[in-house]
Structure 1
Amino acid sequence: MNLPLVLALLVAAYLLGSIPTALWVGRRFFGLDIREHGSGNAGATNTFRVLGKKPGSVVMAIDVLKGWAATMMASVMLSQGAIRPDQLLYFQLACGVLAVVGHIYPIFAQFRGGKGVATVLGMMLAIAPATVGGCILVFLLMLVLFRYVSLASMSAGVAFALLQLLPPFRPQNPLLLYFGFILAALLIYTHRANIGRLRAGNESRVPLFGRK
């Protein structure tokens, strides 16, 4: 193992995840700190809620790309002979998780970030694209039906775990199956405040067909 290269790319994965997309878009184009509005999170969901669908879509796309690019750093490790082929999944998960941690606790934004849903999506897109395709359909369906990004995100996370139980989506390495259920549980946990607002009936809907 080429330890210096592995460590450098692991740090790079965290730094890539730390890019505070929502914060920078809010400040650059709207002159506001997204963390002082809406739910207070610097993520795509709050950007949709506060700034509208166009800025929200841009933030989501970039945050997905962060997770995907960080996870692909494991492939760079493999191509450079820094890790063995049988270690690829482990380092894909490590790089992806570090990017998600960076998104939630960004060093470039006083460690106040978002919930990491879009970055998780990009991470899993790099590892299990077919399964993620099904999850995206679940996300879009729930979003169109109810217009709650939080509900759609949690539903997609649960769908990822459950889809992997089906033969067409079952991963070769059981680690990914276990990780899927852990991921679903973490998504529900990080959205516990949203769950409270959903139950109380005061969760904000996103303006899918509005002017924003």
Structure 2
Amino acid sequence: MNFWHVCSAFVTAYLLGSIPSAIWYGEAYFGIDVRKFGSGNAGATNTFRVLGKRAGTIVLLIDVLKGWTATMLANILFFLEVIDGPQILTFKLLLGVMAVLGHLYPVFTRFKGGKGVATSLGMVLAIDPQVASVCIAIFVLVLLASNYVSLSSIVAAFAFPMMLVLGVFGQASTLLIVFGFLLFAIVVLTHQKNIVRLFNGSESRVYLWRRRNK
């Protein structure tokens, strides 16, 4: 194993995750720092609230792409013969986690970032696109029914390890199942304030098909 190739991949994954797409997009096209409005979060959800659906969608796709690209660096390491076949999943998980950590603690914005849900989705898409696709469907259905992004994220994050345990698309490795539950725990931890607001009825809603004031 080439130590420098591996280190370079990990640093690249972290830097990809650190790209503050919501902040940079808002400042470049609207002259607005999204952290100063709405929930104050530097993520796609707050971008939807502050800058609208188009901006929110663009930021969401960029954040997903960050996670996917960082995770797929494992394939490049395999192609370069830095790692072997059995190690691919492990390195995909590690590189994906580096991207998520980058999103949570981005070096470009003094280590204060978003909640990492979209970046985690990109990671999961690179690892198991079938399960990830179902999670996306679950997220959309819960969002349409509740208009709560936080609740949708938590439910979709829980569905991921549960589908692996149930073997919906075949038997999953123990490592991936454990990771799935850890990912769910991280989503819950980063949404603690949202959970409190959900229980007291003060959580903000996001409406996909109509304006909030209707």
**TM-score, with normalisation over the residues of structure 1?**
0.96
Amino acid in the other structure paired with 2:101: V
| 1:9-40 per-position Cα deviation (integer Å, ceiling 9, x unaligned) | 11000001111000011111221111111221
Amino acid in the other structure paired with 1:25: Y
| 1:55-75 per-position Cα deviation (integer Å, ceiling 9, x unaligned) | 111110010000000000000
Is the contact between residue 49 and residue 207 of structure 1 (CA under 8 Å) also seen in structure 2?
no
DSSP-derived class of the 1:42 partner: coil
Amino acid in the other structure paired with 1:54: R
Matched, 1:71 2:88: no
Aligned to 2:154: 154
What fraction of aligned residue pairs are identical, expressed as a percent? 53
Aligned to 2:177: 177
Unaligned runs of 5+ in 2: none
| 1:57-96 per-position Cα deviation (integer Å, ceiling 9, x unaligned) | 1110010000000000000000100011111111101110
DSSP-derived class of the 1:114 partner: coil
Q: Return the offset for 1:169.
A: 3.0
Q: Return the offset for 1:172.
A: 3.8
Amino acid in the other structure paired with 2:14: Y
Distance in structure 1 (CA, Å) of the matches to 2:170 and 2:36: 42
Amino acid in the other structure paired with 1:36: K
Is the contact between residue 18 and residue 105 of structure 1 (CA under 8 Å) also seen in structure 2?
yes
Q: How many residue pairs end up in the alignment?
A: 212
Is the contact between residue 157 and residue 187 of structure 2 (CA under 8 Å) also seen in structure 1?
yes
Is the contact between residue 163 and residue 170 of structure 1 (CA under 8 Å) also seen in structure 2?
no
Q: Which moved more, 1:11-20 or 1:164-173?
A: 164-173
Aligned to 2:167: 167
DSSP-derived class of the 1:70 partner: helix
Q: Return the offset for 1:136.
A: 0.6
| 1:115-141 per-position Cα deviation (integer Å, ceiling 9, x unaligned) | 000000000100011111110110000
Is the contact between residue 17 and residue 66 of structure 1 (CA under 8 Å) also seen in structure 2?
yes
Q: Return the offset for 1:167.
A: 2.5
Q: Which moved more, 1:24-33 or 1:61-70?
A: 24-33
**TM-score, with normalisation over the residues of structure 2?**
0.95
Distance in structure 2 (CA, Å) of the matches to 1:191 and 1:54: 24
Q: Which moved more, 1:162-171 or 1:32-41?
A: 162-171
Distance in structure 2 (CA, Å) of the matches to 1:175 and 1:203: 34
Is the contact between residue 21 and residue 62 of structure 2 (CA under 8 Å) also seen in structure 1?
yes
| 1:128-175 per-position Cα deviation (integer Å, ceiling 9, x unaligned) | 111111101100001111111111111100010111122233544210
Amino acid in the other structure paired with 1:98: M
Distance in structure 1 (CA, Å) of the matches to 2:210 and 2:33: 22
CA RMSD for the aligned pairs? 1.3
Higher RCO by CA contacts (8 Å cutoff, separation 6 or greater) = 1
Distance in structure 2 (CA, Å) of the matches to 1:187 and 1:45: 14
Amino acid in the other structure paired with 1:107: V
Aligned to 2:189: 189
Distance in structure 1 (CA, Å) of the matches to 2:189 and 2:148: 17
Distance in structure 1 (CA, Å) of the matches to 2:117 and 2:98: 13
Matched, 1:109 2:109: yes
Distance in structure 2 (CA, Å) of the matches to 1:157 and 1:22: 22
